């Protein structure tokens, strides 16, 4: 039974050619391990190695639930009888002089890239913000090096991502056809992205670019992707609709806007509310006729915007409805929303023809926060 348990732990550890000596569960999970075999000499390939000394490395390896798994790794120092040189044992997935495994470093990178703040990662992974930033930039540079030369995806998503006060924003390019992050580039202005975009292979073959309602990104798309059609990202358009409505609600009823229960009901799509929730909301809106009209207009617009994968004929039939609703907002306290939608009319209308969005750049937060 003990041997099977050890094999299970070895599998969880995920380090090759390493065996578990013992495990202790306290505040953290601590695992003592050692190499299972001696290597050949790094310099001459001779197999006759003598262990000169052994020292211990303490490495953060991964999170399991709310605990950090820390590996106490016995590292032999070898002497080669063939060439007389000394060297220390090398482990796959562990860099010399680092105090964390590559698994742990990549876990932190994925978390930060997925949207988890440095302060949150500092708390959950017991490392400093400077270390997080250093690791993040290391993996960004590594991925840029690995991915350089690949042709640009024909269906491209562009979104911004904030990762540090010092470094500011980065621009994420997404391959929406294969649902993968294509590249991440520091900066979000044309000046900071110009050099990268000019040497981007295959940008003239990009057919569709999905983005939020950013004038900067729209100008970049028109200049550097001349053959691409711009499509507004559905997630950002509906979020903008909600933001303007909530601001309008705040002007009409500041106290009601502070009610968390009402706030939850107002934010959600009407068709996702239960019958009881609809009745509760109707009682409140009945006492505020102007707000009720705005809420109805917002819900009608949201229903229209969520249409997707329509053929050209059906999409064109919805344009008069979209224009009518924009006119309604233009004559209401949400005029600024109408102005934005008018400016982005074609990209918004193109959403009906496509099902893809930039959700990959917004996701993974809950998974990573919960220790995934």
pLDDT at position 370, please?
38
Task: Report the residue count for the chain.
Answer: 372
Sequential pLDDT tens for the chain (372 residues): 444 444 445 555 778 889 999 999 988 999 999 999 999 999 998 888 999 999 999 999 999 888 999 999 999 999 999 899 999 999 988 998 899 999 999 999 999 988 899 999 999 999 999 999 999 988 888 877 766 678 899 999 998 887 666 667 889 898 998 888 888 888 899 999 999 999 898 999 999 999 999 999 999 999 999 999 999 999 999 999 999 999 999 988 888 888 899 999 999 999 999 999 999 999 999 988 989 999 999 999 999 999 988 998 999 999 999 999 999 999 999 999 999 999 999 999 999 988 777 665 554 333 333 333
**Dihedral-angle region of residue 17 (phi above 0 means left; psi in -120 to 50 means alpha; beta otherwise):** left
Distances (CA, A) of 252 to 171, 261, 287, 300: 37, 17, 12, 20
Which DSSP category does 100 fall into? Answer: B
**Using CA atoms, how far apart are residues 323 and 223, in angstroms rounded to an integer?**
28
**Using CA atoms, how far apart are residues 159 and 173, in angstroms rounded to an integer?**
7
Beta strands 67-80 and 49-64 are: antiparallel
CATH class for the region spanning 150-230: alpha beta
**Using CA atoms, how far apart are residues 174 and 185, in angstroms rounded to an integer?**
12
Which DSSP category does 152 fall into? Answer: P
DSSP assignment of 296-342 = HHHHHHHHHHT--S--HHHHHHHHHHHHHHHHHHHTSTTHHHHHHHH
What residue has token string 């239960």?
274
Global pTM exceeds 0.75: no
What residue has token string 């102007």?
290
Cβ–Cβ < 8 Å for 111, 163: no
Distances (CA, A) of 96 to 30, 92, 100: 20, 11, 10
Cβ–Cβ < 8 Å for 104, 127: no
Handedness of CA 104, 110, 113, 115 (dihedral sign): negative
Q: Which residues lie below 8 Å from residue 296, measured CB to CB, with a gap of 6+?
A: none
Domain ranges, ordered by start, for the chain: 2-99, 105-147, 150-230, 234-360
Cβ–Cβ < 8 Å for 188, 171: yes
């Amino acid at each position: 039974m003990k041997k099977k348990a050890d094999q299970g732990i070895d599998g969880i550890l995920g380090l090759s050619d390493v065996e578990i000596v013992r495990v202790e569960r306290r505040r953290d999970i601590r695992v003592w391990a050692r190499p299972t075999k001696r290597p050949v000499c790094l310099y001459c390939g001779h197999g006759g190695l003598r262990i000169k000394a052994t020292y211990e490395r303490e490495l953060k390896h991964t999170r399991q639930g709310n605990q950090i798994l820390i590996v106490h790794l016995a590292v032999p120092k070898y002497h080669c009888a063939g060439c007389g040189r000394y060297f220390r044992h090398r482990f796959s997935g562990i860099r010399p002089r680092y105090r964390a495994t590559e698994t742990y470093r990549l876990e932190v990178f994925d978390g930060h890239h997925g949207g988890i703040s440095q302060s949150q990662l500092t708390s959950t992974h017991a490392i400093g913000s400077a270390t997080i930033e250093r690791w993040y930039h290391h993996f960004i540079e590594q991925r840029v090096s690995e991915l350089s030369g690949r042709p640009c995806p024909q269906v491209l998503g562009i979104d911004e991502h904030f990762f540090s006060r010092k470094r500011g924003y980065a621009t994420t390019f997404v391959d929406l056809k294969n649902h993968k992050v294509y590249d991440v580039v520091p900066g979000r202005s044309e000046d900071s992205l110009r050099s990268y975009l000019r040497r981007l292979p295959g940008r003239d073959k990009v057919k569709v670019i999905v983005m939020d309602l950013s004038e900067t990104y729209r100008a970049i798309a028109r200049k550097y992707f001349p053959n691409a059609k711009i499509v507004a990202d559905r997630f950002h358009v509906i979020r903008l609709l909600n933001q303007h409505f909530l601001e309008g609600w705040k002007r009409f009823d500041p106290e009601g806007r502070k009610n968390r229960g009402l706030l939850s009901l107002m934010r959600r799509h009407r068709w996702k509310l239960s019958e009881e929730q609809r009745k509760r909301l109707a009682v409140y809106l009945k006492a505020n006729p102007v707000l009720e009209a705005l809420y109805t207009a917002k819900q009608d617009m949201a229903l229209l915007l969520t249409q997707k994968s329509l053929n050209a004929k059906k999409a064109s039939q919805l344009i008069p409805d979209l224009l009518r609703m924009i006119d309604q907002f233009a004559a209401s306290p949400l005029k600024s929303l109408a102005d934005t939608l008018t400016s982005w009319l074609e990209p918004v209308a193109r959403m009906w023809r496509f099902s893809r969005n930039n959700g990959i750049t917004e996701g993974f937060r809950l998974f990573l926060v919960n220790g995934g």
